Structure 1
Amino acid sequence: MESSLPSTQILDSGESAERKNEAKNYNEMMSTLPKAKGLRGNDYYLYQGFWYSSFFLEGLMSVQEHFNPQSTDIFVASSPKTGTTWLKALAFAVLTRSRLSGSTTSSLLIKMPHDCVPFLEFQVAQNPRIRDLAVPLLSTHVPYSCLPKSIISSSCKIIYICRDAKDTFVSLWCFFSAHQMSKNVEPLPLEEAFEMFCNGISILGPYWDHVLGYWRASLEFPEKILFLTYEEMKKDTAAHAKKLAEFMDCSFTLEEEEEGEVQKIISMCSFEKLSRLEVNKNGKLHLDTSIAIQNSLYFRKGEIGDWANHLTPEMGARIDDIMEQKLKGSGLKLPR
């Protein structure tokens, strides 16, 4: 049975006071960190080699200190705008398919994928009781080297997704620009954001270091970390849905495959299906926080190669050259 927990819960006064005190300590720590202007015009803070917004960093510091995973937990990990929403939907649908029988409706049809698979450093950091312990799926944008030690030292599994850096940058810029315009705030010019990205200054950046961290960990712990690319998933979604099921120890049976269960899940999690759902057209994520975001912004295009509609060939070549240089010797070659 899927969780009946509400999307938010009120913490008791003791917990609330403790969290306020922690937030004060985290803010004091942040005041000592190097800063740079972010895509939303806010400050990014350099912490343990990566750039974070204040809201994100506060949550990260909290989970680094307090989070204790279940041994069966599975984390969907990614740098922002690399296919996170789609991968969450697929992983959730695959893992919970046995819960559905008859006319029971999947939570994906009434809840946003980010609410079905809550963010460790956002939702869970704010309220650990928000998660459904019966569905051992969580998500994170945290770089591998910054994950809580309790996760790295555990038997938890991690599914990581990345994509071509050019499409990642464009999706990131379009996302934050749309969010700014929804608040009647002038977005950062593309050219300025591009220079920042190329210099490694982007949310959770440098992007190449984020990717390399999980890539190297996947080589060291292949039984614990599944490394995927958005482009390969789009190319053969059925094969990757089955790979996800096998990795999460819930492989599709021959009977399920014959009955078209894989294709049903792929169809339910498609961009076309999810983007047309009422909750994803009109709802908001992080509703009770300072960073409330329209769900519709998470469903822009989902297309490979859209970067060419925004960047010049020279800009595209520059990102390719940077990525080639940064990934050199790692054995990893991302699709272009």
Structure 2
Amino acid sequence: MASLGGQQENEEDEFISSLPKERGWSFSHVYLFEQFWCPSSLIRERNIFQKHFHAKQSDVLVASFPKSGTTWLKALTFAIVNHKKFSSTENHPLLTSNPHQLVPPLYTFRGNIHDQILQLSNMAEPRVFGTHIPFPSLPKSVIELNCRIIYICRNPFDTFVSAWAFFNKIKVESLSTLTKEEAFEMFCNGVIEFGPWWSHMLGYWKESVARPNTVLFLKYEDLKEDVDFHVKKVADFLGCSFTQEEESDGVVESIAKLCSFEGMKDLEVNKSGTINFEIKRFENKLFFRKAEIGDWVNHFSPSMVEKLSKIIEEKLSGSGLSFKMHS
């Protein structure tokens, strides 16, 4: 974390302790900040970021609610943006680095702020970042410069199952393991890191409707159904479309194959490597569980299905956003 002046740090602590607080899924506590639940460390980083981060017009943001296909979309976006630089997939960075290393989280301030800003400004352009931050809390310069944002969401049923499995593995050690019933109750109330999930989705959805040239909204299920189509769609959106020659040479298919779940899961870096995130070092293999659509049917009781279906209907009503039920 960036060091702040003593007085400023105390003010920050006081502010955070005044916010509504709940038990988190992977953190001891999450706080309701700007209408979403997040850990105290992230609130601090976000406030520093608002003051010191300067977006560049060419910046690309891969945004998502946790466990919605983030790792896959990061890999695809990195490969698409750099498809001329790494025309052959033989020596591709994705073969030796986890997608989260190549597309770092947007909020990464630790240690000296000025060193961090210098590091970010020296990143090769276009800079590609990942974030779970809801749209209204993104750095102002990202919004003002109309930086391209690609958002991926997933059927809330599968999102819940994936999140429950993942957060229990990465939680701080002092925290008890959440039972499925406890986690489901919290999920239905919107209490989960970066939740409520419905307002997270709707924030980006509404922006994608209002500004389709700035925000591209994707569904995990659609991406699974036709990867090649979406690889081309993302490339067109980012202004780095494939030429006829590249398409004839199978570049689109090779990117889809390179970034496939099976392909990435089998790489040595993703089987044995680790990556440093906010709370601790994660094993890369944690990011590759099942990647299935409809796995929720193995975990949901009829009453859970009924309850979550009603919440989805109620929260998304009139927005135009809907999900197909895969079972």
**TM > 0.5 fold call:** yes
Matches within 5 A, 1:1-336: 17-18=3-4, 25-40=11-26, 42-101=28-87, 105-122=91-108, 127-131=116-120, 132-180=123-171, 186-286=176-276, 290-336=279-325
- CA displacement, residues 3-27 of structure 1 (integer Å, 9 cap, x when unaligned): xxxxxxxxxxxx9655888665533
The answer (yes or no) to whether the contact 2:27–2:171 under 8 Å persists in 1 is no
Q: 1:108 to 1:167 in 2, by over 3 A?
A: same
TM-score if structure 1 supplies the norm length? 0.88
Rounded Cα–Cα distance in structure 2 between residues aligned with 1:19 and 1:157: 34
Report the Cα distance in structure 1 between the residues aligned to 2:26 and 2:88, rounded to whole angstroms: 45
Instruction: Answer whether contact 2:89 2:258 (CA < 8 A) is retained.
Output: no
Secondary structure at 1:98's aligned position in 2? coil
Gaps of 5+ in 1: 1-14
Contact 1:35 1:44 in 2 (8 A): yes
Shift of 1:176: 1.1
* Identity within the alignment, %: 43
Shift of residue 122 of structure 1?
Answer: 3.2
Q: 1:113-140 deviations in whole A, cap 9, x for unaligned? A: 0111111123699733444232321111
CA displacement, residues 164-198 of structure 1 (integer Å, 9 cap, x when unaligned): 001111111100112249x5964111100100010
One-letter identity of the residue aligned with 1:151: V
Whether the aligned pair in 2 keeps the contact of 1:123 and 1:130 (CA below 8 Å) is: no
Question: 1:62 deviation in Å?
Answer: 2.0
Distance 2:45 2:3 in 1: 16
Number of aligned residue pairs: give it.
Answer: 320
Distance in 2 separating the partners of 1:184 and 1:33: 22
Contact 1:173/1:190 (8 A) holds in 2: yes
- Code of the residue aligned with 1:165 in structure 2: it is P
SS in 2 for 1:158: strand
* Shift in CA distance, 322/59, structure 1 to aligned 2, threshold 3 Å: same
- Asked if the contact 1:23–1:58 (Cα under 8 Å) also holds between the matched residues in 2, the reply is no
* Cα displacement string for residues 241-288 of structure 1 (whole angstroms, at most 9, x for unaligned residues): 00000011110111111111111011110111111112211222226x
Mapped partners of 1:265, 1:94: distance in 2: 7
CA spacing shift, 1:35–1:264, aligned 2, 3 Å: same
- Shift in alpha-carbon separation, 1:106–1:143, aligned structure 2, 3 A: same
